[in-house]
Structure 1
């Protein structure tokens, strides 16, 4: 057996695991420009009617006297009130038991039982007893409150509004951000042009951060290496 070649293969595998862990650790940090799915949407451009022939009416500049200022078009602003709270708990318990008994009577040969010194030699019996007991509990609680103002990125054919947006806050040596996108019904928008987050369909809400505090609360790449499924230890 080639011990040197075997050790070299282990070293190569370890180096590959380290490289994968470092790359995954570096790519996990969020950036401002990592996705276009949360960028604000601008309203459609309005062509100026140059040849209006002195008319006071201009296309695209109409004003309704009976409609409120709720969001309804691409580029309109709407406030999402974050009211997320989830509580989940689960417990399970299992207990099983089983007993089995099998006996084989003494075999008779020529009308007499097969014995050796009076002891039956072809008589046997099997007895099994199995018991199992298992128990598990799990609980989780999450809460997120606040607000974020986003823009309408698309008006669907049924009148629903697809909204998206993000908010970044820089505090000392760190940054925190909130991102959200989803679909809102115009009927759910309140008079203050706001809608609670639990009424946003297909919602994707992200709350995270980057910087010194975020790095202090995250596991290092070496710890991730030993916690990953690729770890041989």
Structure 2
């Protein structure tokens, strides 16, 4: 009975470690609205509003809170690492026959001596890791904050609902106004403090994910 209770408790603990799938409409990536604009004073009968006006020489690039900008995703990473460790140690100890009052004690006529014999310890380990990732695409985000030095904090997410699940892209970071092209786009490699997440949920994503029980058997908690 105790063993059954222990198994049930371990199952509940491992089940609680399973993270919940992400959901759309995260407040952290939600678009922001520009500050409320006051109606212009019609002193001369003009409807001009300096808050929404654009100069004849402006290019339409994002520069205010609430403006949208397109991030061109061009991420590519590749890494390779290998190591090998070899340790070999041997030891041999022998304790000679002691003397007591100048006389060597004997056991059944043989001198008393102790020998630990030969001990050998060896370890040979080798590891290798290769990783390559690539992400291409576009995502349009909004300007959440314009810092005093001109940098703009941008955030946004894109969700695609497919017939077997959802896929999403989340992007956040800081950009310089001079990095924005005339088409109001900027490359993801020009994002400072970038946070880019591409994942999914649903049947296809679950089929490629390892279950919690399998993670337990190959994890550090499994003693064998």
TM-score range, shorter chain: 0.7 to 0.9
**Quick one: which of 210, 215, 218 aligns to 1:227?**
215
Structure 2 Cα separation of the partners of residues 196 and 110 of structure 1: 90
Task: Provide the residue aligned with 1:31 in structure 2.
Answer: 23
**Quick one: which of 154, 175, 190 aligns to 1:184?**
175
Deviation at 1:117, TM superposition (A): 6.3
Note closer, same or farther for the CA distance 1:129–1:161 as it changes in structure 2 (3 Å cut).
Answer: same
Q: Which runs of 5+ in 2 are unaligned?
A: none
Deviation at 1:173, TM superposition (A): 4.1
Please give the root-mean-square deviation of Cα atoms over the aligned residues, in Å.
2.9
Note closer, same or farther for the CA distance 1:170–1:132 as it changes in structure 2 (3 Å cut).
Answer: closer
Note closer, same or farther for the CA distance 1:117–1:29 as it changes in structure 2 (3 Å cut).
Answer: closer
Alignment of 1:59 with 2:30, yes or no, is no
User: For residues 161-184 of structure 1, what are the alpha-carbon distances to aligned partners after superposition, in whole Å with 9 as ceiling and x for unaligned?
Assistant: 110111122333433221111111
Task: Provide the residue aligned with 1:4 in structure 2.
Answer: none
TM-score normalised to the size of structure 1?
0.79
Task: Provide the residue aligned with 1:11 in structure 2.
Answer: 4
Structure 2 Cα separation of the partners of residues 166 and 134 of structure 1: 44
Task: Provide the residue aligned with 2:122 in structure 1.
Answer: 131
Aligned residue pair count:
220
Q: Which runs of 5+ in 1 are unaligned?
A: 1-6
**Quick one: which of 204, 212, 218 aligns to 1:213?**
204
Asked if the contact 1:17/1:231 (under 8 Å) is kept, the reply is no
Structure 1 Cα separation of the partners of residues 158 and 14 of structure 2: 30
Deviation at 1:17, TM superposition (A): 4.2
TM-score normalised to the size of structure 2?
0.81
Structure 1 Cα separation of the partners of residues 92 and 129 of structure 2: 39
